[in-house]
Amino acid sequence: MIDLRSDTVTKPTEEMRKAMYEAEVGDDVYQDDPTVRLLEETAADILGKESALFVTSGTQGNQIAVLTYCRPGQEIILEAESHIFYYESGATAALAGVQTRTIQGTRGAMDPAAVKEAIRGVDIHYPETGLICIENTHNRAGGAIVPSENMREIYEMAKSEGIPVHTDGARLFNAAVAAGADVKEFAQYSDTVQVCLSKGLCAPVGSIIAGSKEFIAIARKWRKRLGGGMRQAGVIAAPGLIALTKMKDRLAEDHANAKRLAEGIREISGLQVVNQVDTNILVADVSGLGVTSGEFVRHLKEQGVLAGSAGSSTVRFVTHFDIKENQIQDAVYSISQAARKAGGK
């Protein structure tokens, strides 16, 4: 199978597996695990923040940010199809007692003027705006890069209003690599940032949330409250270190493969690539074949390709470390065969 469902399906490299075996460990709840400490220090340095915290997942990292910044009854502003709003099981309401105020963005980027307009004034009827969240790259916008200039405008406006900004940067390294920039260029325009280690960077588990020392001290307690306090966690932090230091620079290969895949799909009758392929995510509309996305995904599986439904008529393909350049042409052929069979049903 050529697995293009997500970059979460990546397997840890041999170097990562060896590092897991050899990792020096201690009890991380006591902050005694040297490998976890090194991962957190390295991540903070790479992201340009004072401190960092190793968490079990991107969702946990995002929700810790909401819990740390907000009080029950407050409101957060975020893009209408952002991961925090769309894919985190209503956790902002269930855990933090916080409601969401969504803004429809353009390719995942919110208009700074619309964000400012959404900030609540002082009124007994209104919830207070507790946090603004940005997602970069933006998953449901097809891996679109939110420009650093857009982030800067939102951040500076938020500072003038006294409101913190959190970036869900699960794929922030993809944005930086595709933009030819240091990741700090993006991370500097938010008070806190979450980055995922287990997507394109290939670590088996975990994310990082980074920010000020004061924020991380509070976030550490929230991690404990959520059941995220880990013991000898060095065995999973070790591959995270390799992910941060050795795997981020090769993400350009995934982006190039996504563009090659898009070129091939554009030649297939009945399929239309509907996103601008900035990074490693490609979205194709299959309505020209007269089938639903779910039906086409089943046809793809029969041809040896795994993909995911991204809507009633759209299918998402994601390139990653385990997909090599020589597999792209095979994937295009299999997709064309699936399209031929789907169109002839």
Q: How does pLDDT run across 60-88, given as a tens digit for each residue?
A: 999 999 999 999 999 999 999 999 999 99
Which percentage of the chain shows pLDDT scores above 90?
A: 99
Q: For 273-331, how does the pLDDT look when each residue is reduced to its tens digit (9 = 90+)?
A: 999 999 999 999 999 999 999 999 999 999 999 999 999 999 999 999 999 999 999 99
- Mean pLDDT for the stretch of residues 206-212: 98
pLDDT level of residue 344 (50, 70, 90 thresholds): low
Please report, to the nearest 10 degrees, the dihedral formed by the alpha carbons of residues 155, 157, 158, 160 taken in order. Answer: 120
For 84-147, strand residue ranges (E) read 99-103, 129-135
Q: Coil, strand, or helix at residue 282?
A: strand
Residue 345's pLDDT is what? Answer: 55
Place 343 in a pLDDT band, splitting at 50, 70 and 90.
confident
Kindly report the backbone phi and psi dihedral angles of residue 171, in degrees, each rounded to the nearest multiple of 5, phi listed first. Answer: -115, 35
- For 20, the enclosing helix (H) or strand (E) is helix 14-22
Query: What is the token pair recorded at 341?
Result: 């069979």
Q: Which two tokens stand for residue 233?
A: 């966690």
Both tokens of 50, joined, read 């004072």
CA count, 13 A, side-chain hemisphere, 170: 26
State yes or no: pLDDT of 2 exceeds 90.
Answer: yes
Distances (CA, A) of 286 to 115, 278, 302: 34, 21, 16
* pLDDT mean across residues, the chain: 97
Specify the pTM: 0.96
Q: 10 Å Cβ neighbour count for 160?
A: 9
For 315-329, what is each residue's pLDDT tens digit? 999 999 999 999 999
Spatial separation of the C-alpha atoms in residues 84 and 99, rounded to whole Å = 12
